[in-house]
Amino acid sequence: MADSLALAQQPVSQPALTAEMLVVFGVVAFALVMFVTERLPIDVTAILLIVILVVFEPWTGVDPSTGISGFANDATITVLAMLILSGGIARTGLVQELGRRMASYAGDSIHKQLFATVVATSPVSGFLNNTPVVALLVPVVTDVANRGNTSPSKLLIPLSYASQVGGMLTLIGTSTNILASDISARLGADYPELHRFSMFEFTQLGVIVVIVGALYLIFVGHYLLPERVPAQADYVEAYDVGDYIVEVAVVPGSPYVDARVGTVTEHLGPEIDVVQIVRDRDRSVAPRQETRLHEGDVLVIRTDRDAITMLEDATGVELVGNPQSDAELSTDNEAGIITELVVSLDSRLVGERLDPESFREEFNAAVLGLRHHGALISDRIVGKRLDVGDTLLVQAPPDTLDRLSRRDDVIVAREPPKPEYRADKAPIAVAIMIGVVAVAALDLYPILLSALAGVVAMVVTGVLEPNELYDAVEWDIIFLLAGVIPLGIALEQSGAAAYLAFLVVSTAGFLPTLVVLWVFYIVTGLITEMISNNASVVLLIPVAAAAAAGIGANPLAFVFAVMFAASTSFLGPIGYQTNLFVYGPGGYRFSDYFRIGAPLQLILSIVTVLGIAFFWGV
């Protein structure tokens, strides 16, 4: 380390700041602003970056072929194949079954429940993309909490964090690892220490990170999390919608006798949404607009305060009730289950305004409440623009929930009573996954080829239907990778990365190498809170490698520090998609993530940096 410090203290000539660097810095600044503000969806922003880089080719050095090279990049295709393989495992119900078995012994012990959550999540996330893993386990973990009389708030953030640290166990644990490996291989021409990573190259450090993270989440973290959602909470009470749901009866002689439901909503106003029809004690949940009404029918209506006042004087209907609990709205599961739906990352609902009528027609579910960006929207929900992580309180028949649980638009926060999985295909899916990992680990063929072969095997054996291949892919991630990869190439070719590295070396050259490594970890972690983790590694790995060379350190150590930090987004809900998935069901506030995540980030930064120094040297 003394030698490294001596090298760091030697004067280093400052690279000349060129027009090419300034243009690339401008593109990077634009990309950061767009990713942080989310003025456009991230996949659209990524495509826009390709266009900008090619338009400014004389300065960026990115010609049209280089601009679209991200689509044919090994990392992009490998991530696409791994997402499909993860989708095949999900179709078998294997992840949910693992979660249920781990939960069966947890009982009402919070430590056992957390242990079950971590053990069911982290190892699986080392081999499957953690986004679908968390999506599949949200209803399982919520059920564990309810059965154990524990607030779901105590378990859902740990679920997300456990999936993130689990992703550091293998090369395929997260798309960030695969992308970092590809960048490392590309930089290998300039830094002999860098190369494409093997399947288990950093597993020894990943195991340590998982163990330390698990101990923290099980024995410390839950004390820092408040009970935002009460144990076994009544949804109607939790969403504070009791004052916005009323029952009105169709009185004798009413103009609505034999009228369609759609006619009623047209006459009574756009804020009126008929969520149930009760006829002779039979409940019809989420009735269609064409449904005809009979005399004596009781309509359960979700609306706002002003509309309720109007209903008191409306002709043809009479206020007869005001349900205040789940039990009053759902007398049995066959009539309709009340649960939460989380808007997923690639959902078509993102950016759309909530229209309960359209939602009912498409999803066959009635909207009762909304949690938007973590805040309850109790009164007016019609017209609210939906975003990733928003949670809708709905009521739907059991078969509808089963169908929704297999769609990519929403995450169902409660397991359907009779979920339909291809359980008989589970052994085949596991065998295919083991084969993919084994072939890559033994260096028989690259992970790209083994993963693509696994995709073909999934279809041939019937684990996945051909049309399900496209549904399994998170296309925003694929387009994001394709867009940021040429941006990373522009950083390297223009000399912008080397210039940033010089600034790092000149300002931190007096620090020990280990501290500089830790600074890179912390900076990466903070940047990942604002932009995509994949964008973080593209921007920072070239800088980290050049900075390491500038102070005579090991570039591989710095690459690993950036890679590990980019997959640990613990300070807020927006930095990582799994954090958004648990935002609504846990009833969290933004500060809850920081409260439990900041100490964890600090602990793991020290553990990871020391582990890198021990295993690979600095």
Sketch out the chain's domains with CATH numbers.
81-232+424-475 (no CATH), 252-315 (3.30.70.1450), 337-396 (3.30.70.1450)
Comparing CA positions, the residue from 365, 348, 430 lying closest to residue 402 is 365
**What is the rounded distance in angstroms from the CA atom of residue 544 to the CA atom of residue 542?**
5
Phi-psi region of 548 (alpha: psi -120 to 50; beta: other; left: phi over 0): alpha
Q: List beta partners, residue 274.
A: 301
pLDDT of residue 572: 83
Orientation of helix 74-91 relative to helix 175-187, angle to 10°: 160
pLDDT of residue 335: 64
Which of the 8 DSSP states describes residue 424? Answer: G
The mean pLDDT values, 10 residues at a time, for the chain of 618 residues are 39 70 90 80 86 91 88 87 86 78 77 90 88 83 84 92 94 91 90 92 96 95 87 76 82 85 79 82 80 86 77 79 76 72 80 83 84 77 83 84 75 70 86 91 88 93 87 82 87 84 75 90 87 85 90 93 91 81 85 92 96 93
* Spatial CB neighbours of 354, under 8 Å, sequence gap ≥ 6: 367, 370, 381, 382, 383, 384, 385, 386, 392
The predicted model scores a pTM of: 0.84
CA 177 to chain centre: 16
**What is the rounded distance in angstroms from the CA atom of residue 349 to the CA atom of residue 346?**
9
Residue position matching structure tokens 């027009």: 19
**What is the rounded distance in angstroms from the CA atom of residue 288 to the CA atom of residue 274?**
9
Phi, psi (deg, nearest 5) at residue 152: -55, -25
**What is the rounded distance in angstroms from the CA atom of residue 329 to the CA atom of residue 379?**
18
Residue position matching structure tokens 């203290």: 9
Q: What share of the chain is helix, strand, coil (3-state, %, to 5)?
A: 60, 10, 35
Residue type at 189 in one-letter notation:
A
* Spatial CB neighbours of 15, under 8 Å, sequence gap ≥ 6: 495, 498, 499, 502
Residue type at 429 in one-letter notation:
A
Cβ pair 560, 522 in contact under 8 A: no
**What is the rounded distance in angstroms from the CA atom of residue 158 to the CA atom of residue 174?**
18
